[in-house]
Chains A and B, each alone.
Chain A
């Protein structure tokens, strides 16, 4: 195995790592992308694909708005299809308390720049005639939509190859050593080296940071989804509810994906996770409550994936303190939506420039180091 040094090694080929690798390669760096599995087979290939402002944290709305533009224009910068559909989005309130949550959240997200307004049940039913007429209120966002997440891997693979990125799948990085000029990456059979590195391991950011002797707590959520068989057109918008525990949309081929962060069970260390029947029944009931005609469909599959979250539920995006040329990118809430733009901002910093929007440096999240950080000397 050659140990030729590349300019940038990206570790983790989800939507974050793949985007950084793509942008950095386009900017002229020699990039190698490592993934323990195949590209975008973890969260980035199995998520619900919702590109919504109504589930995005207020602090991330400006990033998500920019990223939404990128997703709807994917043919231009990505060059390959991920099945993006832009449409309106609705978030529904069924109780008084939910009305309160909805208006608070609509206000906060509106203030952050999302075109969200509160609408009456009548207006809601005009936009989405199959919605439950018993709703009390809805918030409407003109900018919403979805992608077909399982196409993420194939689309990025093509783009990355065209951009000259070396893709190394089924190649976990198992150790990291600062060398002074960069980093040595320990692989199962050999090693690689790079001037700069990006850790983009999703929920596995925690063990990756441990390779540098740093302790960054990453909470592992086991999100669960279900999908119906192909059905006649039932809905045309992305439908959520005030609490954020439902996301629903019908894909052009007719299947309806039901999600919203209901939890399955799983274990990050063994990379095993599975759906629970309680969550499935709860989530599907909520879906049917929102769009009653879903009662006539059949559920063909449910599945789960790991979503990562930091202690304050804001991203880990920026330089790794004490490690020159080492960067971290991930743990973004509703991270699929914002990924291309947050990755764009991080890449600007990697290239030595000023990012278009501020990063989320992780100094705030680091607890006591596991061992003395070996500072690289330049």
Chain B
């Protein structure tokens, strides 16, 4: 049995604000679109659909929930062909266009189209510290996902730590659930936040929500440690304590808690772009890398477009407009939309993007994780959790001659585990950069598929021996 293939004019990966709006724009312009997302429902991270009864019943006053419900309704009304619960695991260039391998309930299905918009969003970064892999330590972004889908958070005595707006969002929602954090640990100073205010003021609704959250935290008298970071966590099978350190004085204090939520910004999910060989550039705002694209989302690979956080972290509203723009550009490039119609349709989104940029920049600046902080990890800090490679192992390998990250992988197995280096590679790269002054290019792992670990059974399906196309035997 050979896997099924679906043919379309346009494949869109990711049904978050970016991908869903890209699909809608291209579909409305007349393209045959297939939209894929591994989640059960469209919405992406920020507009994630509620799953549990508790989450569904909670009052719909949250703007993210409203936006998400509206988007889901739009996709249904437009009758967009969408494959949910379906993971993209490969992306290939072929003479006729792109082939995207997916896996879902129907097993392996290949999608083919001359055009591809990739909008897979972002991953959260965590500044590694000794103990960050102890059960009971969760990402801030993971916490927001839980809050949206299930309206719940684990833990009884919690600390919320890291940097950027998610810190406040998670802490305030924890308070609202009756789970008052023992501490908020924020890498930023009051002045850092003040600098961001001008940007935030451009989005009055978001700013108002942020202020409400801050007021809730003040009312609940949650101890707020500014310019602090988590320097270590202890516990064997579960978290027992967290040590905070002042970034100014270096002073530390230890607090007993059973749960820590910690996150240090986002980095684009770039596997699809890298597998397809699209050019990358350093992102001045987030400090990591992003795919190179023009103002319409076109990448260096013809027919490939990027939108949303995957094209550089900007947040949900810019993602919506970037998605719409990429969808229109794909429709135009496919001949479904004239140049004049494209310019007319673009105007509102282009204006909106310009207007939203200061807000995006403000958030990004707060979320930016400095390379020096990463590179300062003590030797016993785990960097690659899949293969248990520690900062000291990396420094030793560098001393023994591993000057680029692929060599480091051979020396230490870093990045060889199931997560494919998604979490550790950026951090290991900072250590290499610090120790050797290496150029950015030599700090990327060679992209390798599959994008996510694949269930072998799903990949191969049912087959008979004669279904395997066995090539000519090797010479004797």
Q: Specify the chain A residue showing the minimal Cβ separation from B93.
A: A274
Contact status A277-B101, CB under 8 Å: yes
Contact status B473-A244, CB under 8 Å: yes
Also in contact, A302 and B456, with CB within 8 A (given A101-B473, A154-B411, A263-B471): no
Also in contact, A302 and B465, with CB within 8 A (given A263-B471, A313-B475): no
Bound CA span A280–B456, Å? 11
Asked if A301 is an interface residue, CB under 8 A from chain B, the answer is yes
Chain A residues lying within 8 Å of B402, measured Cβ to Cβ, are 154
Bound CA span A150–B468, Å? 29
Asked if B407 is an interface residue, CB under 8 A from chain A, the answer is yes
Nearest CB of A to B121, in Å: 21
User: CB < 8 Å: which of B453, B460, B471 contacts A245?
Assistant: B471
Chain A residues lying within 8 Å of B411, measured Cβ to Cβ, are 153-154
Asked if B284 is an interface residue, CB under 8 A from chain A, the answer is no
Nearest CB of B to A92, in Å: 11
- How many residues on chain A are close to B (CB under 8 Å)? 55
Query: How many residue pairs bridge A and B at CB < 8 Å?
Result: 127
Contact status B407-A153, CB under 8 Å: yes
Q: Specify the chain B residue showing the minimal Cβ separation from A288.
A: B460
The dominant DSSP class at the A interface is mixed
Query: What mask results when residues 148 to 162 of chain B are scored 1 for a CB within 8 Å of chain A, else 0?
Result: 000000000000000
Asked if B417 is an interface residue, CB under 8 A from chain A, the answer is yes
Asked if A289 is an interface residue, CB under 8 A from chain B, the answer is yes
User: CB < 8 Å: which of B99, B400, B450 contacts A301?
Assistant: B450
Nearest CB of A to B231, in Å: 31
Also in contact, A300 and B465, with CB within 8 A (given A154-B411, A245-B470, A284-B459): no
Asked if B105 is an interface residue, CB under 8 A from chain A, the answer is no
Query: What mask results when residues 296 to 310 of chain A are scored 1 for a CB within 8 Å of chain B, else 0?
Result: 111111110000000
- How many residues on chain B are close to A (CB under 8 Å)? 47
Also in contact, A95 and B465, with CB within 8 A (given A229-B417, A244-B474): yes
Nearest CB of A to B441, in Å: 12
Also in contact, A277 and B474, with CB within 8 A (given A95-B465, A298-B456, A301-B449): no
Q: Specify the chain B residue showing the minimal Cβ separation from A245.
A: B470
Nearest CB of B to A217, in Å: 16
Asked if B454 is an interface residue, CB under 8 A from chain A, the answer is yes
Query: What mask results when residues 410 to 452 of chain B are scored 1 for a CB within 8 Å of chain A, else 0?
Result: 1101001110100000000000000000000000001011100
Contact status A276-B410, CB under 8 Å: no
Bound CA span A40–B409, Å? 13
Bound CA span A261–B474, Å? 8
Asked if A38 is an interface residue, CB under 8 A from chain B, the answer is yes
Contact status B476-A277, CB under 8 Å: no
Chain B residues lying within 8 Å of A16, measured Cβ to Cβ, are none
Contact status B456-A297, CB under 8 Å: yes
Chain A residues lying within 8 Å of B409, measured Cβ to Cβ, are 150
Chain B residues lying within 8 Å of A169, measured Cβ to Cβ, are 401
Q: Specify the chain B residue showing the minimal Cβ separation from A334.
A: B474
Contact status A289-B465, CB under 8 Å: yes
Which residues of chain A from 81 to 139 have a CB within 8 Å of any chain B CB? 94-95, 101, 104-105, 108
**B110, B457, B471 — most chain A CB neighbours (10 Å):** B471
User: CB < 8 Å: which of A274, A289, A298 contacts B453?
Assistant: A298
Bound CA span A205–B273, Å? 32
Chain A residues lying within 8 Å of B259, measured Cβ to Cβ, are none
Bound CA span A263–B471, Å? 9
Asked if B404 is an interface residue, CB under 8 A from chain A, the answer is yes
Asked if A23 is an interface residue, CB under 8 A from chain B, the answer is no
Bound CA span A38–B438, Å? 14
Nearest CB of B to A260, in Å: 9
Nearest CB of A to B113, in Å: 16
User: CB < 8 Å: which of A101, A151, A282 contacts B468?
Assistant: A282
Bound CA span A282–B1, Å? 11
Contact status A55-B110, CB under 8 Å: no
Q: Specify the chain B residue showing the minimal Cβ separation from A263.
A: B471
In addition to A58-B476, A288-B460, A301-B416, 13 A-B residue pairs with Cβ atoms within 8 Å of each other are A41-B406, A151-B410, A154-B411, A157-B401, A228-B456, A244-B474, A285-B460, A285-B468, A288-B456, A298-B455, A298-B456, A301-B420, A302-B449
- What residues of chain B have their CB less than 8 Å away from a CB belonging to chain A? 3, 90, 92, 99, 101, 108, 110, 275, 277, 397, 400-404, 406-407, 409-411, 413, 416-418, 420, 446, 448-450, 453-457, 459-460, 463, 465, 467-471, 473-476
6 A-B pairs whose Cβ atoms sit less than 8 Å apart in the complex:
A38-B406, A150-B409, A154-B400, A154-B401, A288-B460, A298-B456
Complex A-B, nearest 9 residue pairs according to Cβ-Cβ distance, in ascending order = A243-B473, A244-B474, A150-B410, A298-B453, A299-B454, A313-B475, A285-B460, A300-B453, A295-B457
